[in-house]
Structure 1
């Protein structure tokens, strides 16, 4: 009998063989006719972290999502609005087509058939997920006491970034125009972040940098963009289709080296990645 890891590798191998015959699938499962990558990525960038709200529901292919991630090959990726089944497929595509092997931690905060499909009696998990090229330990998944119009929470793990042990958080706060709920959520998150001398906080905060509810985070950490501060919010590069900065890589006890906002056609949020100095 195959163990879980062996079963996943077998599934990947079968998927690769099928795609070689019929071509990779589009969002609805139909063959897209695209060819496989000419050259696989050899390894991750060991000090690079990324945050990306996948957008759900959106008509996006997990194959395309994996290709977008592979182009920048981060050591750690924090995803929001993530269906567990989509995350599984993205991880498998990253391995099969791009040679990138990730561990995964799920931070689902609700089971939602309309967002994530599945059988009516077994709907898919929806929430956060963290992919890391290094092993993941000490996983904690917390649902905020009040999510607002939809359940929200944070996922925290310990893994390696740049060869050093780092506590990584991934969160998605309450929707726009729900400031009172985000204020309570940031309070819960900040209390936990404050316990760690070295931490990376990834996520979609659904708030611009000078929003009052983010004050506890700014008191603990800095954004990866040195020019982006509450007092200089106009200097912050937008990360959404509506040209607001909602996505953050907050750093505590870690220095940023460089960052980039990557425009994408596969979500209403752009990808944001940062290279870090963890020493």
Structure 2
């Protein structure tokens, strides 16, 4: 039974879980949520799986649905872009209360903007990146690029454990399309920092196709999780957006990919992208 001190948010999540049980399955495959669950059981994460997802903002999307999409693949680490702190807080609660998945969280907010994240005009919500990790995270940094382009942009980084190895994980969202020169400056900043680490994973929405010149420095120090994807016309790169471009990446340094998947979702104009990795 829930006590008198139970928070409204936890009470709402509990009531939602009860309703799901009473109503029964809603997905075509008979599960409560669409999409395969690759973890061994509810409450487990896949210990070598990393994911990136631009969750779309502003979008009229339920955080319950966002959490269900993440839980379907149960990554150990996920980098979110276009993330409002309030949304991530709710997603994290739903992952734990509805799916038994417990994550630590770090934020890489670069804006406080009412139009993006709501809140009171004098106290708008924080907007940017976030990293959720089943393992603890240390040494978090949040860096705003000197030039964000048409909107402030930056990267965040943490140290955590993936596939049994300590690794520096970066999460970024580069400048919007048609701002190639700005993105080139941003990737120089990001690559210089990532190059300091023998093991690094770079997650994010880079807003650039694989053969874009501004990604040259990233390709020089890391490889894409998709073994078929190369920065050349001969590469076969799966699209990660609704407009059939590859803008989202899991770049690996000191790791090799075991399996790479792209999952379109009705809850964002960017697809979920995850890969299972092992140390070199």
Report the TM-score, using the length of structure 2 for normalisation: 0.89
Q: Could you list the runs of 5+ residues in structure 1 that have no partner in the other structure?
A: 1-7, 25-32
Q: CA deviation at 1:274?
A: 0.3
How many Å separate the matches in 1 of 2:101 and 2:234? 36
Q: CA deviation at 1:162?
A: 1.2
Query: 1:256 aligns to what?
Result: 257
Query: 2:125 aligns to what?
Result: 124
* Residues 209 and 233, structure 1, Cα contact 8 Å, conserved in 2: no
Query: 2:175 aligns to what?
Result: 174
* 2:165 matches 1:193: no
Deviation string 1:214-265 (CA, Å, 9 cap, x unpaired) is 0000000000011111124651000001000000000011111110000100
Q: CA deviation at 1:121?
A: 1.5
How many Å separate the matches in 1 of 2:52 and 2:8? 27
Query: 1:19 aligns to what?
Result: 16
Instruction: State the Cα RMSD in Å.
Output: 2.3
Change in 2 beyond 3 A, CA 1:9/1:270: farther
Structure 1 consecutive aligned stretches of length 4 or more whose deviation exceeds 3 Å: 8-13, 20-24, 33-40
Number of residue-to-residue matches in the alignment = 264
Q: Within 5 A, what are the aligned runs for 1:136-155?
A: 136-155=137-156
* Residues 239 and 246, structure 1, Cα contact 8 Å, conserved in 2: yes
Q: Within 5 A, what are the aligned runs for 1:2-151?
A: 13-19=10-16, 37=32, 41-151=42-152
Q: Could you list the runs of 5+ residues in structure 2 that have no partner in the other structure?
A: none
Query: 1:235 aligns to what?
Result: 236
Query: 2:216 aligns to what?
Result: 215
Deviation string 1:109-149 (CA, Å, 9 cap, x unpaired) is 01010110011121100000000000010000000000000
